Structure 1
């Protein structure tokens, strides 16, 4: 667990969990695009890639610690599921444009 104040500081922020399913074996990339409070319209992204996967999975993204304290809360986000190089699904927050 987070014992010290520094440990707690490094874990503070926004966490995102996305559940997804692929029916046929594919190379899959889950990409979270997001905008933070202090960066205004600047979009950042995190990606996690899976090789030859099939079935139901969970992907977790974190915007925590210094990234969170320096740039602020995540104000808008979009998550895309890319299978074999093509976007096959998307989920977005209400504020994403």
Structure 2
């Protein structure tokens, strides 16, 4: 009977602690290094993502063109509804300190969405060798100002 008082105090505190702010920008990387690299011991989510990226590639050459690094960017911004863009910048080991950039536009009125960026094909394989992405940064820009950004550990 005496447990209800501590429980009545602790329960609202736990509820308030679990209410964190949602992330405005989330980046999910995936690196596909080999054709048929998934086996029965892999995580089902990774295996499903591999199959989704390889879907429609019939021959070994087509599958080889899809090897590389994929970045799925999820964004959720309720602060404004103006037009904007997701800017993905990256550096590859083979290109030194040169920063390459990809941009995905956001229509006015959208408050959430998904953008996919892929470094595959000739961009990924330079002279027959993989040109891995070493560092990356992703920015959400709305109405000309940076709303949020995420970056890899090695980005400077």
Normalising by the smaller structure, the TM-score range is over 0.9
The equivalences for 1:1-97 within 5 A come to 1-23=56-78, 24-70=80-126, 72-97=131-156
Q: Would you say the 8 A contact 1:37–1:74 is kept in 2?
A: yes
Q: Deviations over 1:40-86 (max 9, x none)?
A: 11100000112213222111100001100017011100000000111
Q: SS of the counterpart of 2:153?
A: coil
Distance 1:53 1:7 in 2: 37
Q: Number of residues paired by the alignment?
A: 97
Q: TM-score, normalised by structure 1?
A: 0.93
Moved over 4 A (4+): none
**SS at 1:8 equivalent:** helix
Larger RCO (CA under 8 A, 6+ residues apart): 1
- Structure number with higher strand proportion: 1
Greater helix content: 2
Output the aligned Cα RMSD: 1.2
Q: TM-score, normalised by structure 2?
A: 0.59
